[in-house]
Amino acid sequence: MFEQIIISGFGGQGALFAGQLLTYAGLEEDREVAWLPSYGPEMRGGTARCTVTVSDEPIGSPITDTPSAVIALNPPSLEMFEPRVLPGGLLIVNSSIAKEEVKRKDIRSLRIPATDMARDEFANERMANMILLGALVSMTRVVTLDSVMTALQKNLPQRRHHLLEPNRIALQKGWDIAQQASKD
Amino acid sequence: MAKVLMKGNEAIAEAAIRAGCDGYFGYPITPQTELLEYMSRRMPELGRAFVQGESEIASINMVLGAAAAGKRAMTSSSSPGVSLKQEGISFLAGNELPAVIVNIMRGGPGLGNVQPSQSDYFQATKGGGHGDYFPIVLAPSTVQEAIDFTILAFELADKYRNPAMILGDGSIGQIMEPVELPEVESKPPDKPWAVTGCKGREKNIIRSLYLLAGPLEARNVILQKKYREIEANEQRHAEFMLEGAEMVIVAYGTTGRVAQTAITRARDEGMPVGLFRPITLYPYPKDAISSLVEQARVFLVLEMSAGQMLEDVELAVKGTVPVEFQGWLGGRVPTPSEVTQTIKEIRTKYLK
Amino acid sequence: MPEGEVVFARPAALEDTPTHYCPGCTHGIIHRLIGEVIDELGIREITVGIAPVGCAVLAYHYFNFDTVEAAHGRAPAVATGIKRVSPENVVFTYQGDGDLAAIGTAEIVHAANRGENITVVFVNNAVFGMTGGQMAPTTLPGQVTTSTPTGRDVKVDGYPVKVAEILAQTTGAAYIARRTVTQPKYVRSCKKAIKTAFKTQLAGLGFALVEVLSTCSTNWGMSPMEALRWLDENMIPYYPLGDYKVIDEVKALP
């Protein structure tokens, strides 16, 4: 297995944390992993994105111009990464904010109004990243959902542990949406 | 041992602690600041020295003081900050003091940007400050290597009484990867030359001033003898798919990793290409490159610079085989597809 | 051998060697005072001195204890590095006015402000000595130097830097004083201040600095006697002698 996943959005949408969680989950499964963030002044308010590599072999380049999957949390991310997804790859879009339809036909895609759902169901827009991550895990099986849950338990800072349960529910929610979509 | 996920900057800090770093002195600058922050937490917990200096200049001179006192000392910065440290690095070399300097390079010249770059190669490997000297320079390409080379840097610095530098680009500092943190048997050698108070011995003087030409010449002869010894003993590199490679890519750090992926793809398409990845940038692994001219029909040097290491490859190859170059400037990082494309072009030009 | 008591000898902290200082230079007196203080405090074997860039760069030939030579202006940073990893050592810097008050202002201000537990002997002779008498930050208004050939014009060159006054403003400083060595009474007072500065460090009370007004007859173009008089008449009015900061714990030192 060799997956390179880009998670991209505005600063504060949790792109970097979602990527870290996925990376920790890969580590739980004893895979080779790498998490490479964008960094610098843009981290504050601008674009925040990371590339997560999960592989069975030692990882060469942690950088990719052809990701196997992308989570686009906002319109600029959709615009930037839709053309780059590997043919046959996956594009998951936060359609609450990124309203454009996915144009490419040679990739799998799923639009989830994650920010709206997070606000309506968790009263916390910042859960959107977990909903989208749950969907990504479901559609790629890059790691198991169990591994993500374990990684969450281990790596969510103690002071945030009250968010453990909502995060779990959000991940499960995303997973279920993707399952349902694949049946439709 | 269980692997843990660590960011490059934090891993270097933890490795330094395990290597017995007694004093860390630094100044914030992106993209290495996590290293300073990590040290600010851990060093006081361990009863060791941490000072956030008023500048990079002050910080490197604090390192010089701690090294003169016989302790293991370290500083870290990024390109513009390392420029400021050059005065102190020259003094470390002139005084023959061991210390470790970390440069997590960003784009330049001037303030440039904070994106990954390899454009400080000349500064790092050719001396950087004034005078005839070389710091030992180690170039990690993964977080694990960043850890291992940091420990090695402390050992080599002590062994040769010389500054040693970890030279990584911004992504080495920022990337998170699983690593094994080794338990280090920290055994610095005896340092009878250190300024510890002269109880029971003659006084020690640590200096680099020799007012007359004769004594300074003699001093330089000693230093140069040491550099020849380092060059003879410490050249290091890694190889990837070099067997049967007619095209030899030379790249270090992150560029080396990107090349590795491109080479894997090229090999799948039957192209005879392999990677020579320098680990020591000083001493440059020129002997191993020279020995490759029998096998290689073309060398391809890849750097996130306008062609700095290129000159060392050309010196090692001595005109026997063509040396091609591709560089990425201003903080842009190569992608595997770009490298694959270049490999194809070079093949068409030389291997058909 | 007639019996007798030794009433005067070279301090053990000084080497038995002639210095390179010009006739009439007061560096020699200041070295001697430091040597005497170190002997009297019994700290020669734990002391580490930092030599500056400037005339006193060769101080390590004259002091008989461990020394490090620092880059121009960086002595307080070097001292910080040593003291932080080896707090059991007594660490002091010996710096001139170009070194401390020009190129090394950042280092000295921040060492003082951190309350770094080191001692500084700051020799102010109002001129760059070693490079041949150029304007120093402490050169007096109107004073002729090789880089102010018509005298220091404050409109062009700015004003002389008052180091003791400036550093006394730092919260971290424990003891800041200005002295000179042009007359026996001043020499005695200077030694006492230097001793207090070392005792401040030994008691762990933080940053201590003694500014010592000093002559440079060669670069001032005067005889040694003229230079001593010129200092008394011109420098002391601009740089008044006295204690600029003495925290209570220092006052209480035995």
Q: Which of A61, A147, A150 to mutate to test the interface with B (most CBs of B within 10 A)?
A: A61
Note whether B197 contacts C74, CB cutoff 8 Å.
no
* Chain C contact partners (≥3 CB pairs within 8 A): B
3-state helix, strand, coil in chain B (%, to 5): 45, 20, 35
Q: For a pLDDT cut of 70, what percent of chain A falls above it?
A: 97
The CB density around residue A150, as the number of other CB atoms within 10 Å, is 16
| C-alpha distance from residue A25 to each of A1, A13, A54, B178 (Å) | 15, 20, 10, 12
Note whether B174 contacts A36, CB cutoff 8 Å.
yes
Q: Per-residue pLDDT tens for C211-244? A: 999 999 999 999 999 999 999 999 999 999 999 9
pLDDT band with cut points at 50, 70 and 90 for residue A40: low
B280-305 mean pLDDT: 98
Note whether C106 contacts B73, CB cutoff 8 Å.
no
Q: Per-residue pLDDT tens for B10-45? A: 999 999 999 999 999 999 999 999 999 999 999 999
Note whether B197 contacts C89, CB cutoff 8 Å.
yes
Q: What is the mean pLDDT of chain C?
A: 96
pLDDT band with cut points at 50, 70 and 90 for residue C3: confident
B239 touching A (Cβ < 8 Å): no
* Chain B contact partners (≥3 CB pairs within 8 A): A, C
The CB density around residue B73, as the number of other CB atoms within 10 Å, is 32
User: How near does any CA of chain B get to the CA of C156, in Å?
Assistant: 28
ipTM of predicted assembly, 2 dp: 0.96
User: How near does any CA of chain A get to the CA of B292, in Å?
Assistant: 23
pLDDT band with cut points at 50, 70 and 90 for residue C28: very high
| More confident: A78 or B352 | A78
B338 touching A (Cβ < 8 Å): yes
User: How near does any CA of chain B get to the CA of A55, in Å?
Assistant: 12
Quickly list DSSP for A54-114.
EESS--S-S--SS-SEEEE-SHHHHHHHGGGSPTT-EEEEETTT--SPP--SSSEEEEE-H
pLDDT band with cut points at 50, 70 and 90 for residue B280: very high
Distance CA C173, CA C41 (A): 22
Fold of C27-251: Rossmann fold (3.40.50)
User: What was the pLDDT predicted at C212?
Assistant: 98
* Four-residue CA torsion sign, C231, C236, C239, C244: positive
Q: How many helices (H) and strands (E) does chain B have?
A: 12, 15
Q: Taking the domains of chain A in order of start, what are their residue ranges? A: 2-183
Residue among A37, A41, A59 whose CB faces B174 most closely: A37
B289-311 mean pLDDT: 98
User: What was the pLDDT predicted at A45?
Assistant: 59
Q: What is the mean pLDDT of chain B?
A: 97
User: What was the pLDDT predicted at C215?
Assistant: 97
Note whether B58 contacts C110, CB cutoff 8 Å.
yes
Q: Is the pLDDT of residue A183 over 90?
A: no
Q: Is the pLDDT of residue B118 over 80?
A: yes
Q: Which of C235, C214, C197 lies closest to C112 in space, CA to CA? A: C197
pLDDT band with cut points at 50, 70 and 90 for residue C1: low
Distance CA C118, CA B247 (A): 59
Q: Per-residue pLDDT tens for A67-98? A: 999 999 999 999 999 999 999 999 999 999 99
C183 touching B (Cβ < 8 Å): no
Distance CA C190, CA A11 (A): 61
| CATH class given for the domain over A2-183 | alpha beta
User: What was the pLDDT predicted at B190?
Assistant: 97
Q: Is the pLDDT of residue A184 over 90?
A: no
User: What was the pLDDT predicted at A46?
Assistant: 72
User: What was the pLDDT predicted at B185?
Assistant: 84
Pick from A45-49, B128-132, C214-218: least confident: A45-49
B258 neighbourhood in chain A, CB within 8 Å: 60-61, 63
H helical segments located in C42-114: 59-62, 75-85, 97-98, 105-113
Q: What residue ranges define each of the domains in chain B, with the CATH number in brackets?
A: 4-233 (3.40.50.970), 238-350 (3.40.50.920)
Note whether C80 contacts B62, CB cutoff 8 Å.
yes
C133-152 mean pLDDT: 96
Tokens of C241: 């002698």
Q: Per-residue pLDDT tens for C78-98? A: 999 999 999 999 999 999 999
